[in-house]
Chains A and B, each alone.
Chain A
Amino acid sequence: MGFFSKLFRGPEIDMEKSSANAQKMRRLFNQVVENGDRYKLICGYTEDVSRFNYGFVHGSKTKIGNLIVGWNEAEEVIVVVPTVPDLSGCGDPAWYRRSEILKAYRNKYPTDAFVICPDRKGYLAINAYDWLEDEKLYVYVSQEQELADFTAFFTERFAKK
Protein backbone atom coordinates (compact mmCIF):
# COMPACT_ATOMS: atom_id res chain seq x y z
CA MET A 1 0.00 0.00 0.00
CA GLY A 2 2.76 2.36 1.01
CA PHE A 3 4.74 1.55 -2.10
CA PHE A 4 1.83 2.15 -4.48
CA SER A 5 0.72 5.34 -2.77
CA LYS A 6 4.29 6.61 -3.15
CA LEU A 7 4.34 5.52 -6.78
CA PHE A 8 1.13 7.33 -7.65
CA ARG A 9 2.02 10.45 -5.68
CA GLY A 10 4.78 11.23 -8.19
CA PRO A 11 8.06 12.98 -7.44
CA GLU A 12 8.25 14.92 -4.20
CA ILE A 13 9.90 18.30 -3.89
CA ASP A 14 12.88 18.57 -1.56
CA MET A 15 11.81 21.79 0.14
CA GLU A 16 15.10 22.16 2.01
CA LYS A 17 17.05 22.15 -1.24
CA SER A 18 14.49 24.43 -2.83
CA SER A 19 14.66 27.08 -0.13
CA ALA A 20 18.48 26.91 -0.08
CA ASN A 21 18.46 27.59 -3.81
CA ALA A 22 15.92 30.40 -3.40
CA GLN A 23 18.32 32.06 -0.94
CA LYS A 24 21.23 31.57 -3.33
CA MET A 25 19.14 33.12 -6.10
CA ARG A 26 18.48 36.15 -3.95
CA ARG A 27 22.15 36.56 -2.97
CA LEU A 28 23.29 36.23 -6.54
CA PHE A 29 20.70 38.69 -7.79
CA ASN A 30 21.49 41.25 -5.09
CA GLN A 31 25.19 40.87 -5.86
CA VAL A 32 24.77 42.18 -9.42
CA VAL A 33 21.65 44.35 -9.17
CA GLU A 34 21.63 47.52 -7.11
CA ASN A 35 18.74 47.61 -4.60
CA GLY A 36 18.00 44.01 -5.52
CA ASP A 37 15.64 43.60 -2.59
CA ARG A 38 13.14 45.82 -4.37
CA TYR A 39 12.59 43.06 -6.92
CA LYS A 40 10.57 39.88 -6.57
CA LEU A 41 12.34 36.86 -8.02
CA ILE A 42 11.50 33.84 -10.10
CA CYS A 43 13.66 31.36 -11.94
CA GLY A 44 13.10 30.64 -15.60
CA TYR A 45 14.92 29.39 -18.62
CA THR A 46 15.20 30.16 -22.28
CA GLU A 47 15.75 27.85 -25.22
CA ASP A 48 17.71 28.62 -28.33
CA VAL A 49 15.30 27.08 -30.80
CA SER A 50 16.04 29.25 -33.82
CA ARG A 51 18.50 26.76 -35.23
CA PHE A 52 16.23 23.72 -35.43
CA ASN A 53 14.71 24.32 -38.81
CA TYR A 54 16.95 21.88 -40.61
CA GLY A 55 18.29 18.34 -40.47
CA PHE A 56 16.87 15.00 -39.45
CA VAL A 57 17.37 15.37 -35.74
CA HIS A 58 14.85 18.10 -35.32
CA GLY A 59 14.73 19.20 -31.69
CA SER A 60 17.14 16.58 -30.43
CA LYS A 61 19.62 19.19 -29.23
CA THR A 62 18.16 21.98 -27.16
CA LYS A 63 20.26 24.63 -25.49
CA ILE A 64 18.90 25.84 -22.21
CA GLY A 65 19.95 29.04 -20.54
CA ASN A 66 18.83 29.49 -16.95
CA LEU A 67 17.64 32.92 -15.88
CA ILE A 68 16.96 34.69 -12.61
CA VAL A 69 14.10 37.03 -13.40
CA GLY A 70 13.44 39.94 -11.06
CA TRP A 71 10.49 42.26 -11.38
CA ASN A 72 9.45 45.50 -9.74
CA GLU A 73 5.73 46.11 -9.99
CA ALA A 74 5.76 49.79 -9.11
CA GLU A 75 8.46 50.71 -11.62
CA GLU A 76 7.26 48.19 -14.25
CA VAL A 77 10.75 46.82 -14.75
CA ILE A 78 12.00 43.30 -15.39
CA VAL A 79 15.65 42.44 -14.77
CA VAL A 80 17.04 39.24 -16.26
CA VAL A 81 20.25 37.69 -14.95
CA PRO A 82 21.69 34.64 -16.73
CA THR A 83 22.86 31.90 -14.41
CA VAL A 84 23.66 28.17 -14.21
CA PRO A 85 21.59 25.37 -12.58
CA ASP A 86 23.84 25.13 -9.49
CA LEU A 87 23.72 28.94 -9.04
CA SER A 88 27.48 29.13 -8.63
CA GLY A 89 27.61 32.35 -10.63
CA CYS A 90 25.80 34.67 -12.97
CA GLY A 91 26.27 37.04 -15.87
CA ASP A 92 25.52 40.71 -16.24
CA PRO A 93 21.91 41.79 -15.71
CA ALA A 94 19.72 43.08 -18.54
CA TRP A 95 17.03 45.64 -17.76
CA TYR A 96 13.70 45.78 -19.56
CA ARG A 97 11.69 48.87 -18.66
CA ARG A 98 8.14 48.83 -19.95
CA SER A 99 8.44 52.41 -21.16
CA GLU A 100 11.51 51.54 -23.26
CA ILE A 101 10.69 48.17 -24.81
CA LEU A 102 8.98 47.67 -28.16
CA LYS A 103 6.53 45.01 -27.03
CA ALA A 104 5.94 42.23 -24.53
CA TYR A 105 3.43 39.44 -24.66
CA ARG A 106 2.68 35.98 -23.36
CA ASN A 107 3.17 33.28 -25.95
CA LYS A 108 1.19 30.06 -25.76
CA TYR A 109 2.58 28.19 -28.76
CA PRO A 110 4.92 26.32 -29.24
CA THR A 111 5.70 26.78 -25.54
CA ASP A 112 4.18 28.87 -22.80
CA ALA A 113 6.67 31.73 -22.65
CA PHE A 114 6.86 35.37 -21.68
CA VAL A 115 8.32 37.20 -24.64
CA ILE A 116 10.03 40.59 -24.41
CA CYS A 117 11.10 42.45 -27.57
CA PRO A 118 13.35 45.33 -26.55
CA ASP A 119 13.63 46.47 -30.17
CA ARG A 120 12.93 45.24 -33.68
CA LYS A 121 16.10 43.13 -33.80
CA GLY A 122 15.98 40.90 -30.78
CA TYR A 123 13.72 39.16 -28.33
CA LEU A 124 13.90 37.16 -25.14
CA ALA A 125 11.49 34.33 -24.41
CA ILE A 126 11.33 33.45 -20.72
CA ASN A 127 9.92 30.05 -19.82
CA ALA A 128 8.89 30.28 -16.20
CA TYR A 129 8.06 27.17 -14.18
CA ASP A 130 6.71 26.23 -10.78
CA TRP A 131 9.13 23.31 -10.29
CA LEU A 132 11.25 21.12 -12.55
CA GLU A 133 12.82 17.91 -11.33
CA ASP A 134 15.87 17.80 -13.59
CA GLU A 135 18.41 19.77 -11.57
CA LYS A 136 21.16 19.16 -14.11
CA LEU A 137 19.29 21.35 -16.56
CA TYR A 138 17.21 23.68 -14.42
CA VAL A 139 17.50 25.47 -11.09
CA TYR A 140 15.90 23.26 -8.43
CA VAL A 141 13.39 25.57 -6.84
CA SER A 142 9.70 25.34 -6.00
CA GLN A 143 8.00 28.63 -6.87
CA GLU A 144 4.29 28.14 -7.39
CA GLN A 145 3.30 31.43 -5.76
CA GLU A 146 6.04 33.38 -7.53
CA LEU A 147 4.91 31.98 -10.86
CA ALA A 148 1.34 33.10 -10.22
CA ASP A 149 2.55 36.57 -9.16
CA PHE A 150 4.85 36.94 -12.15
CA THR A 151 2.16 35.78 -14.58
CA ALA A 152 -0.28 38.30 -13.13
CA PHE A 153 2.29 41.11 -13.27
CA PHE A 154 3.38 40.30 -16.81
CA THR A 155 -0.05 39.91 -18.32
CA GLU A 156 -1.78 42.71 -16.43
CA ARG A 157 0.96 45.32 -16.02
CA PHE A 158 3.92 44.63 -18.26
CA ALA A 159 2.42 43.30 -21.51
CA LYS A 160 2.61 45.82 -24.34
CA LYS A 161 1.45 45.65 -27.96
Chain B
Amino acid sequence: MWFYELGAILLVLIAVTIVGNLWFHTVESLLERFKGLFSRRKAPPAWHELEQEQEERDNDRH
Protein backbone atom coordinates (compact mmCIF):
# COMPACT_ATOMS: atom_id res chain seq x y z
CA MET B 1 0.00 0.00 0.00
CA TRP B 2 2.84 2.41 0.88
CA PHE B 3 4.10 1.88 -2.63
CA TYR B 4 1.00 3.60 -4.04
CA GLU B 5 1.28 6.45 -1.51
CA LEU B 6 4.88 6.99 -2.50
CA GLY B 7 3.86 7.03 -6.15
CA ALA B 8 1.09 9.54 -5.42
CA ILE B 9 3.50 11.86 -3.59
CA LEU B 10 5.94 11.60 -6.49
CA LEU B 11 3.20 12.45 -8.96
CA VAL B 12 2.16 15.47 -6.89
CA LEU B 13 5.77 16.69 -6.75
CA ILE B 14 6.14 16.28 -10.52
CA ALA B 15 2.88 18.17 -11.05
CA VAL B 16 4.04 21.00 -8.74
CA THR B 17 7.33 21.23 -10.64
CA ILE B 18 5.61 21.35 -14.03
CA VAL B 19 3.07 23.96 -12.89
CA GLY B 20 5.86 25.97 -11.24
CA ASN B 21 7.90 25.97 -14.43
CA LEU B 22 4.91 26.91 -16.55
CA TRP B 23 4.07 29.74 -14.17
CA PHE B 24 7.65 31.01 -14.19
CA HIS B 25 7.93 31.04 -17.97
CA THR B 26 4.49 32.62 -18.36
CA VAL B 27 5.41 35.48 -16.03
CA GLU B 28 8.84 35.81 -17.71
CA SER B 29 7.33 36.09 -21.19
CA LEU B 30 4.69 38.57 -20.01
CA LEU B 31 7.38 40.69 -18.38
CA GLU B 32 9.52 40.60 -21.54
CA ARG B 33 6.56 41.73 -23.67
CA PHE B 34 5.71 44.45 -21.21
CA LYS B 35 9.29 45.69 -21.22
CA GLY B 36 9.35 45.51 -25.02
CA LEU B 37 6.56 48.06 -25.16
CA PHE B 38 8.85 50.62 -23.58
CA SER B 39 12.09 49.78 -25.36
CA ARG B 40 10.90 49.71 -28.99
CA ARG B 41 12.41 53.07 -29.90
CA LYS B 42 15.69 52.53 -28.10
CA ALA B 43 18.77 52.16 -30.25
CA PRO B 44 20.43 48.72 -29.99
CA PRO B 45 23.42 48.72 -27.62
CA ALA B 46 26.80 49.21 -29.25
CA TRP B 47 29.11 46.23 -29.50
CA HIS B 48 32.82 46.32 -30.28
CA GLU B 49 34.55 43.15 -31.44
CA LEU B 50 38.07 42.42 -30.28
CA GLU B 51 40.16 43.93 -33.10
CA GLN B 52 42.51 41.00 -33.67
CA GLU B 53 39.63 38.54 -33.90
CA GLN B 54 37.87 40.74 -36.38
CA GLU B 55 41.05 40.95 -38.51
CA GLU B 56 41.42 37.16 -38.44
CA ARG B 57 37.81 36.75 -39.55
CA ASP B 58 38.34 39.23 -42.39
CA ASN B 59 41.47 37.36 -43.50
CA ASP B 60 39.59 34.06 -43.52
CA ARG B 61 36.98 35.54 -45.84
CA HIS B 62 39.61 36.66 -48.43
- Residues of chain B with a CB closer than 8 A to A51's CB: 28, 31
Of B20, B31, B50, B51, the residue contacting A57 (CB under 8 A) is: B20
B47 touches A91 (CB 8 A): yes
A27 touches B45 (CB 8 A): no
- Residues of chain B with a CB closer than 8 A to A54's CB: 27
B45 touches A56 (CB 8 A): no
- Residues of chain A with a CB closer than 8 A to B27's CB: 54-55
B52 part of interface (Cβ distance < 8 Å): yes
Chain B interface residue count, Cβ-Cβ cutoff 8 angstroms: 19
For A56, the closest partner residue in chain B by CB is B20
- Residues of chain A with a CB closer than 8 A to B49's CB: 88-89
**Contact size class for A?**
10 to 19
A56 to B28, CA, bound (A): 13
- Residues of chain B with a CB closer than 8 A to A60's CB: 24
- Residues of chain A with a CB closer than 8 A to B28's CB: 51, 61
A32 part of interface (Cβ distance < 8 Å): yes
Report A51-82 residues with CB < 8 Å from chain B CB: 51, 54-57, 60-61
Contact pattern, A 88-124, Cβ under 8 Å of B = 1, otherwise 0: 1111100000000000000000000000000000000
B45 touches A91 (CB 8 A): yes
- Residues of chain A with a CB closer than 8 A to B46's CB: 91-92
- Residues of chain A with a CB closer than 8 A to B50's CB: 24, 27-28, 31, 87-90
A140 to B52, CA, bound (A): 19
- Residues of chain A with a CB closer than 8 A to B4's CB: none
A24 to B61, CA, bound (A): 23
B41 part of interface (Cβ distance < 8 Å): no
B2 part of interface (Cβ distance < 8 Å): no
A56 touches B48 (CB 8 A): no
> 4 tightest CB-CB pairs across the interface, nearest first?
A56-B20, A89-B49, A55-B24, A57-B24
Interface residues of B (CB under 8 A from A): 16-17, 19-21, 23-24, 27-28, 31, 45-53
